[in-house]
Chain A
Amino acid sequence: MEYKKVVRAIMANRKLRLPQQLNAIKQNVSAGQYKLALKTNPLFNKFLHKTPYFSDIKQIYIKEPFSFTGDLKKEFKWLSDNLENYLEEINDFILLKNEFEGYILLCDYEKAANVVVKVEGLYGVTLWSIDANLILEEHLNGSEANWNKLSYYLGEIKNSIYEFIINSNSKRAEKKLEYESYINQFQNDIDNVHANDIIKDFFVFKNFNLANYEYRFDRLESVLYVANIFSVIDQYLILIDVILYNTALDDSNDRLFSPYIKKLINVVPNDHKILNLYNVTNRDNKFVKIENSKDIIQCSNYYYSGDFTKAFELSDAGIDLFPNNFEYYIIYSKSLLNQQLDFVPKKTSPLIVDVLRNTYNLLSFKNGAKDSFDNLLKTSLSHMNTSFGKQIYGLLSEIEGQTGIHFKLAILNAPTNSYKAPYFGENRPQIFKNFIEMSKEHSFKICSFKLNNEVELEADFTRSKAQELSLNATREYKKECFGEVVKILTETNVLDENSYYYERKNGLLFNSYLHLNLIREALLLFGTIQFNDKIITRKLSFFDLYEKIFDTKTKDEFIDLIELPILYSLLVKEYDLYEVYDDFMCSYDIFHIQELDVEDFINKFSLEKTIHFLSKVVTIDTIKYSTDYDSINDVEEDRVSVLNILIDINPTEKLNYQKEIDEIYRINAVRKVLKEVDEGRLFIDVDNLKELQIKKFKSEFQRFKEIEHSGSLQALIGFNPSNTKNWENILTEKNVTEDKYNSADYLAFKNIYLESRNNFLYSKEYGLDSSLSTRIRHGALKNHIRSVFEKLELVTSKSHGIYQDNELWKNQLLNYPELNIEVQNKLKDFSNEIDEYCVFIVEKMIQIQTEKNNDIEEGLFQYNTNDKILYAFYTDNKERLNSVEAIIDIILTDLVNYTILSLQKTIAKAFSEIIPKEFQDLIKNIILELRELNLPNECELIPNLTSSSTEIQKELEYLSEWFNLNTTNSSSLLSLETILNASIELTNKINPNYNLTPNIVIEQELLGYSSLIFVFNILLNNVIQHSKLDNDKIKLEITVAKDSTEEYSIIKFTNNLKLNVDYKSNKSKLERIKENWNDHSNIERSNKEGESGYDKIKRILLYEAHAKSDKFDFEINKKEISISLYFPYTEPSIDEEDTNN
């Protein structure tokens, strides 16, 4: 009487209100005494039974589930006790439910609808009736009506649990939504709702219990707990499903459920599942006959006696009479297949015919019937909450060699007694006594025999030799006499003649080989199965074979089999595949793919296997691990050779192979362009600069020469602006400047030098600063550096001036909300530090410094000079300064040499020491701070920061190569498509959160220089920045075409825009750009950061790409924007000699 004490204590606590008192009872009273405890106060039951049904949709509310006990017994008793008052009504409901399911199978939706109306009239609105209504809408009025109905429900029932379930119901009902799509959508939904474990278990169980999903509460106490919130109808359906699940899993809760099931067999006899549960679980050797079982047993008996004609006749009639018994469908199909007969369609409902046809096709295992599995999966999903759906899924599990939970659930869901009951015998020996009445039935005996139970079977138990062999082999397999299985199955070819048995034979043989560790035999059989294009095999786990091989110490016994790398190619890739590929090749003394004799391979291994080997094993990703290759280009060359061999030996796939070759060439071309671009980022056109300066300094040179000549007679002094001025002391102190620096000839030279240097550095056409600005500073450098951290999810971008939270870490720290806040704050600081330092690098370090602007102290490009240096330079070269060409050549050569020799050392040092150190410090600091927070093990933040430490070094090392000065333009003309591809590749690389995949339409083939890549980069970055769209929303099209007048070639970028964003300012900017397109007076602005990218485009087109565009246009509306660059089109001149040839 312990409960009395507990209840008394609860009642004595005046702070507890009624629901709290009930909760305390649920938590503290033992499960077996709930009923007694609740009787102590009539208010308890009054509260609990306030609303058993929701009379209409508006009445639906979340009934009180109280607190979760985490105890299966308590949750089961709490729920089942509360249902006891309603069992008779539930029994009546089950009758109507069965009626509804029958009408659905017969596609009689009107009658089915009437049943649902009746159910809702009697028992109100339930999850069951909502599901039924959605199914009916889908079938009667189509998916749109289903969605409208869903929308109605969602509008009326504003509760997340209902919403989730109803949404899933609607999707399951959708005829066109494939099984895979449902799984994906469901998984997305479950991931996104971030439900707690209890609710998550419930959602999965209620909406997708076909999956082999790992439940956190594996006995589903969580599901029972959530069930409390629904109407009693739903509570019952969920309760029985949970009992069925547990019973199919094992016998550990039979004692808990048995008394309740025993009670139900008398009160809810309409539910056949209860009767099956009782027959399997009771320990009283009791058996309840289920109506109409005799017919299916008789039909099964005929089938297992090998009388397939009779079995077919009975199953044919059985389907008409009992369409909800899927066992008839199986025997119908197998009887036809045993007689090697084609499918015979029945005159019945389209749904039944469809299921029957798919069952026949599935069991035929013919390659042409691959869809049947998916079709049946879809049907089982649509009927997931019915016994019929569960029976179908049971067959699908069996086909895949799984006779576990879903297979057993199918037996428990059968509407009749099942001869397959012996499958429960392993854990429940009592069932053979329970089923004593059925044990004389032939099909029951055969099932027992298969499962290696003691059973007396006549010698000629079947007329079918194939059936006999198959059953004997199955029994031996169950006995674990795998050698015997191999003997039975390899002694004769009888099973090879019928695809139904051939599939079984292969399954048993393959798994026996695995058990016997006969890997060579298993691999050979794998090869036979894999390349048999007529048969599908589902029971084989090639992964098991792979694992067996993986665990084998030596592969010597089978390393010469081509099946080995072929098997691996189905399951692994990259180095894992390379290992066996290399071992296999070495076993034939082939040390390089070029040594392969294809004819010999085909003779040795067959054409099909050679084709698979060459196409799927000898790929770039595999062979790249060979140390024979020094670069990826060599790997690609060999892959192209392999693809050419494939074109010869497998011409039907020529298009695909050619496509891969084209893709390799495309990637190769893109790589070359990117290499050329990187190597030539810092480009000073010295030849043009020379030409320009020779013209420009002609008169100055003459002046210099004149001064030099007169100076040789009498020293001329000039004004040297470089002299240090000390205006305060100038009147009292003697000017200490050496006279030689004021010599007129030196000053004349100095003028030429300084101006020449100025051109070298700042010429808008050919100077260094232009290169720095357009190719390095303009986004590129910062984006490259930032991309390292972005890729590893270590920095976020700003929104309205504030760094956003990082979603990845937020999800990984979902269970640690306070820790997450600290981590996010630290990452925001880190983002800010990285960004600030990037800005510092670009704005302060990648700058030119001369004595004129030595305010930029950190500028790496230091071209400072002074009289001492310059005078020494002057005197060293004075003798050679005898022509304008010579003087310009000497000055420019000196500047180039200085840039290449001295400056590049400084830059290399900056990029290998100074800048990396700063980043290392930033990374080290945040790691130290994060370590103090003791992040949970599953959080990958610190490993990612550690990776960034090496990654940033690599990136900086790569970036330092951008500063290798190029003085000759060796760029070749490339196809515009290649340049566009390279530009997209580069843009995506430096924007890891975006992956632009534009549709490129080339209507006119054009050629251009690689520097056009910078033009396209600016346009692509504009798309990312100005469209304000997320990565997956950007739709970009790039067209290259002639305009209608044929005067111009047009390159047009068109992309969509974010709705409801004001683009007025963009429009007015573009108008100004259009208006001033041919005005190049402001082009020097292009060297300043933050100025329009279009000035940079103009400069690149004019001076670097030699592709001056004299027209610019744009269109902008609410939905999209397009930018067009116009290039004057000239017809290619025809070389007469070529034409003549």
Chain B
Amino acid sequence: MKKILIIEDDKIKIERLKDFFKKDDITLKESFKSGVKELKDNFSNYDFLILDMTIPLWEKGHNDLGGNYEQFGGEKVLREMNRRKLLLPTILFTMFDVFPTKDGNITFDEIDTIFKKQFPNFYMGAVLYISNEDNWKNNITNLISQID
């Protein structure tokens, strides 16, 4: 049984992940704050991290009037992990195949390449979640097998 930390806020993805990892011990955090705090406190207790890209900054109800949405919240979690040496193997789990930025769109593959270069010590790879397909399960399994 693996100990898995999941930082994810999308209810549907959470349910799918819970189902997929039903034999494992999972801890769920739904925001940048709670995710990073958990990593700071207990990262060594986990086998790996499943990380969403677009997550809220604050836990529900603690946010500002301006909104709570961090388009690249997942990247910020990776940067915090890198900066604080919280080197837990991490799989990016996203449903975006394209990420719009102010300098143009970045594709899923491009972001995967960038992160592999930027966080070689703990970033394992990215998995694309498409609601009506199950490929993500194989892809996630493959990446997990590399951790082992």
Contacts and interface: CB of A to CB of B under 8 A. Distances in A.
A821 to B, nearest CB: 22
Given A579-B83, A937-B105, A953-B11, A924 B131 contact: yes
Contacts of A950: 9-10, 54
Contacts of B33: 627, 629-630
Given A667-B65, A938-B104, A953 B12 contact: yes
A940 B105 contact: yes
A49 B98 CA distance: 54
A52 B20 CA distance: 78
A583 B80 CA distance: 11
Given A632-B62, A947-B54, A575 B76 contact: yes
Given A631-B62, A949-B10, A938 B105 contact: yes
Nearest to A630: B62
- Quick one: which of B62, B64, B95, B132 has the most chain A CB within 10 A? B64
Interface string A877-914: 00000000000000000000000000000000000100
Interface in B23-80: 32-33, 36-37, 40, 54, 56-60, 62-65, 69, 76, 79
Nearest to B79: A579
B95 A631 contact: no
Interface in A210-226: none
A943 B65 CA distance: 24
Given A937-B105, A950-B9, A950-B10, A624 B57 contact: yes
A943 B132 contact: no
B21 interface: no
A943 B100 contact: yes
Nearest to B12: A920
A1103 B128 CA distance: 53
B119 interface: no
Interface in A603-645: 624-625, 627, 629-633
Contacts of A706: none
Interface string A10-34: 0000000000000000000000000
Contacts of B37: 627
A131 interface: no
B97 interface: yes
A476 interface: no
A920 B62 contact: no
Interface in A924-968: 924, 928, 937-938, 940, 942-944, 946-947, 949-951, 953-954, 957
Most buried by B among A671, A937, A950: A950
A940 B83 contact: no
Contacts of A633: 62
A916 interface: yes
B87 to A, nearest CB: 16
A985 interface: yes
**Residues of B in contact with A, size category:** 20 to 34
Q: Which of A625, A671, A951 has the most CB of B within 10 A?
A: A625
Given A912-B11, A924-B131, A953-B11, A946 B65 contact: no
Contacts of A920: 12, 131
B107 A937 contact: yes
A936 B114 CA distance: 22
Contacts of B9: 950, 954
B115 interface: no
Contacts of A632: 58, 62-64
Contacts of A957: 11, 60
Nearest to A938: B105
A1097 interface: no
Nearest to B129: A946
A522 interface: no
A603 B56 CA distance: 39
B12 A671 contact: no
B97 A942 contact: yes
Interface in A1110-1136: none
Interface in B83-126: 83, 95-100, 104-105, 107
A575 B107 contact: no
Which label, helix, strand, loop or mixed, suits the secondary structure of the B interface?
mixed
A632 B56 CA distance: 13
A570 B65 CA distance: 25
A579 B80 CA distance: 8
A940 B10 contact: no
A634 to B, nearest CB: 9
A239 interface: no
B95 A949 contact: yes
Nearest to B40: A627
Contacts of A985: 65
Nearest to A985: B65
A670 interface: yes
A946 B79 contact: no
A946 B63 contact: no
Contact of B79 (A575, A629, A924): A575
A630 B99 CA distance: 29
B14 to A, nearest CB: 10
A943 B94 CA distance: 11
Contacts of B107: 937
Nearest to B99: A943
A142 to B, nearest CB: 41
A924 B76 contact: no
Contact of A940 (B58, B64, B100): B100
A579 B78 CA distance: 12
Nearest to B98: A943
Contacts of B98: 937, 940, 942-943
Interface in A320-340: none
Contacts of A942: 97-98
A671 B54 contact: no
B59 to A, nearest CB: 8
Interface in A739-776: none
A631 B63 CA distance: 7
Contacts of B57: 624-625
A629 B95 CA distance: 29
B99 to A, nearest CB: 7
Contact of A671 (B11, B65, B95): B65
Nearest to B107: A937
Nearest to B68: A954
B36 A627 contact: yes
A631 B64 CA distance: 9
A670 B65 CA distance: 9
A990 B96 CA distance: 26
A579 B84 CA distance: 11
A670 B58 CA distance: 19
Contacts of B105: 937-938, 940, 943
B122 to A, nearest CB: 16
Contacts of A582: 83
A218 to B, nearest CB: 20
Contacts of B40: 627
A912 B14 CA distance: 13
A515 B98 CA distance: 37
A985 B99 CA distance: 29
A920 B98 CA distance: 19
A913 B136 CA distance: 23
A293 to B, nearest CB: 47
B76 A625 contact: yes
B135 to A, nearest CB: 15
B62 A583 contact: no
B82 to A, nearest CB: 10
A957 B68 CA distance: 14
Given A928-B132, A940-B98, A943-B105, 18 more contacts: A575-B76, A579-B79, A624-B57, A625-B32, A627-B33, A631-B62, A632-B58, A670-B65, A671-B65, A924-B132, A937-B107, A938-B104, A942-B97, A943-B96, A943-B98, A954-B9, A957-B11, A957-B60
16 contacts: A575-B79, A627-B33, A627-B40, A631-B62, A632-B58, A670-B65, A912-B11, A916-B12, A937-B98, A937-B105, A943-B105, A944-B100, A947-B54, A950-B9, A953-B10, A957-B60
What 5 A-B pairs come out closest when comparing CB atoms?
Answer: A631-B62, A940-B100, A627-B37, A950-B10, A632-B64
